[in-house]
Structure 1
């Protein structure tokens, strides 16, 4: 095989020659770079999966037992080319368990969370030995390497949204999986043994502080109450009254690769347009409305799921003059922020607003912005 360029070779012929040497000239990338002057190309397309479609698929899935782990779930696959998930980094789907079923214990390097669609006090997930109830709209996190199994001890079907970072973990070739060896793991016996007990502002002084493998349940009753508390605030011009599911120990992102939010859109609200380098998946908890994404119109109502790809202009609209709309969302922003790649336009919306002023300072004219 020759290792030098032949006289009179065309550029295309030289490219073939470099291919044989497992090399590639920079000029082959130039055409791709030129089209990126406005930022990264969105991966995938905006898309909405209606509640009825999902419910029918779950109903049909109840007649199938594809394996012995009692895991009946599906992933929302983005119809855009080259996306093997809901986004290139996130896989969102739904899972159903029948009364009396146990989804066998295992653990993996994948970060995962469960947002409950149809739950009860007797539907629960065990995470590193902690029993975490799965009631309607609760959020349960299963950080990487935590043992977890799902139990339905109720008399009705349990349904929840699954969101995992499996696409990016697969791309990075970082997937580890380990079955526990039996359907259930041992449970902790006292609250003093619960790792989630360390998430309180009052915690054992003799222990080192840890922020990994923290099992946690964000109860919807607390989240919905907080949304009511902040409903009168101006909130974000792009997302309305949007609250962060902060990590219970660090206060940072919900999981290292996934951040979660609950947002309230007041009656008649039309948010401003913005875009960000992160992709976002949504589940509609309450109400109905529209999200405009580029040239796409996504009309949603309670129980629907939809996706907004990265770097696409979008805005939310609550058409109702009297009813609030509530959305749950998850984003890959922490992953991008860790790489220094997170960006918003027309300007940053998170972490930029001031704290409420001290009343005494307002009276005495000492308020600064």
Structure 2
């Protein structure tokens, strides 16, 4: 064989060998981590870029509420012990996730409808939207809550949900279940028991062990904390203050309504653990954000993913250059890495968001970063 024939056959032999190599890697459930521009089957660059990613999205409450009403008529507590509507991000479907680490769900309970206790490893909150009789019993503390109140149901803490007072009520939940699921650490338990006369007895309702106003009685005065109280009542998994009332948040917002605030965020107030001053959960945290009448925030980008629910007002956000309109009780998904601006078009009324962020997880892993742009468009490192 001449040198010329060997040379002419070499490219085709290499292509055949490459194809065989990629086929074997793919069939062996492996991934080749080297760059190539060759158009071959199972191309590693295409695989790398094809990973599912959350996209900016707005779920409209005007779509959600009628579905909740229909579900309430068709699905009884005999059919299921929970009746929630989970918001699934189109970029992550069919995974139960509104952004990569969290999901929001809406729950409507009919009058005086109480579900049995359960517990799980994901941490969760409930935020009241409508009705004064939303109910959560958590760790022996019965909590009735209304619009704007936030109730914690921490990791591995027994709790149950429902309504009291003879009227329907709607609340939204935020859970870190997608994060816990990624870590392969999800567990649920529905077998609630108590010890009575030395015997384990299954119960459908938790026996109260604390007063209904316990969280407020112990932690409701900022800067003062009773020393004789066990502040690790749930093993220290979360803030021991299980209910954060809207009245206190609204008063603080009113006090600061004329402050300069942050040009990239407006007025933001974090919910905190009264014992540590840190986030209410180790994995996710919650906050309220206010845009004053006519306020428009400067562009901001952060590595954390956000879920925002307009509690009051309406407006729009520019997310990675696209406009997203929102109204009261909608939910907005803002994946980490997106540039965001919020606009309150009303000349007279504020916009108030209820927000959730996975920043605590990212900060614990030293992954959190935040950028912004000034009026001139210059890039700023903010955090």
Shorter-chain TM-score: what band?
0.7 to 0.9
2:227 is the counterpart of 1:204: yes
Q: 1:70 to 1:206 in 2, by over 3 A?
A: closer
TM-score (norm 2): 0.80
User: Which segment drifts farther, 206-215 or 280-289?
Assistant: 206-215
Q: What is residue 251 of structure 1 aligned with on the other side?
A: 277
| Post-superposition offset of 1:10 | 2.3
Q: 1:292 to 1:99 in 2, by over 3 A?
A: same
Which runs of structure 2 are paired with 1:1-369 in the superposition (5 Å)?
10-19=17-26, 23-27=30-34, 32=45, 43-65=53-75, 68=78, 69-81=80-92, 84=95, 85-120=97-132, 122-179=133-190, 180=192, 181-190=202-211, 194=214, 198-199=218-219, 201-205=224-228, 211-213=236-238, 214-346=240-372, 347=380, 349=382
| Post-superposition offset of 1:254 | 2.2
Structure-2 separation of matches of 1:196 and 1:129: 15
Q: 1:261 to 1:14 in 2, by over 3 A?
A: same
Partners of 1:71 and 1:96 within 8 A in 2: no
Which residues of structure 2 form unaligned runs of 5+? 1-12, 38-43, 193-201, 373-379
TM-score (norm 1): 0.83
Q: What is residue 3 of structure 1 aligned with on the other side?
A: none
Partners of 2:176 and 2:284 within 8 A in 1: yes
Structure-1 separation of matches of 2:309 and 2:285: 14
Structure-1 separation of matches of 2:242 and 2:65: 27
Give the alignment's Cα RMSD to 1 decimal: 2.8
Which residues of structure 1 form unaligned runs of 5+? 1-6, 351-369
| Post-superposition offset of 1:291 | 0.6
Tell me which structure has the larger Cα radius of gyration.
Answer: 2
Once the two structures are superposed, residues 133-176 of structure 1 have per-residue CA deviations (whole angstroms, 9 ceiling, x without a partner) of 21111011111011101231212101100110111111211011
| Post-superposition offset of 1:52 | 1.1
Once the two structures are superposed, residues 154-205 of structure 1 have per-residue CA deviations (whole angstroms, 9 ceiling, x without a partner) of 121011001101111112110111111432111115589x577554622124
Structure-2 separation of matches of 1:80 and 1:155: 40
- What's the secondary structure of 1:155's corresponding residue? coil
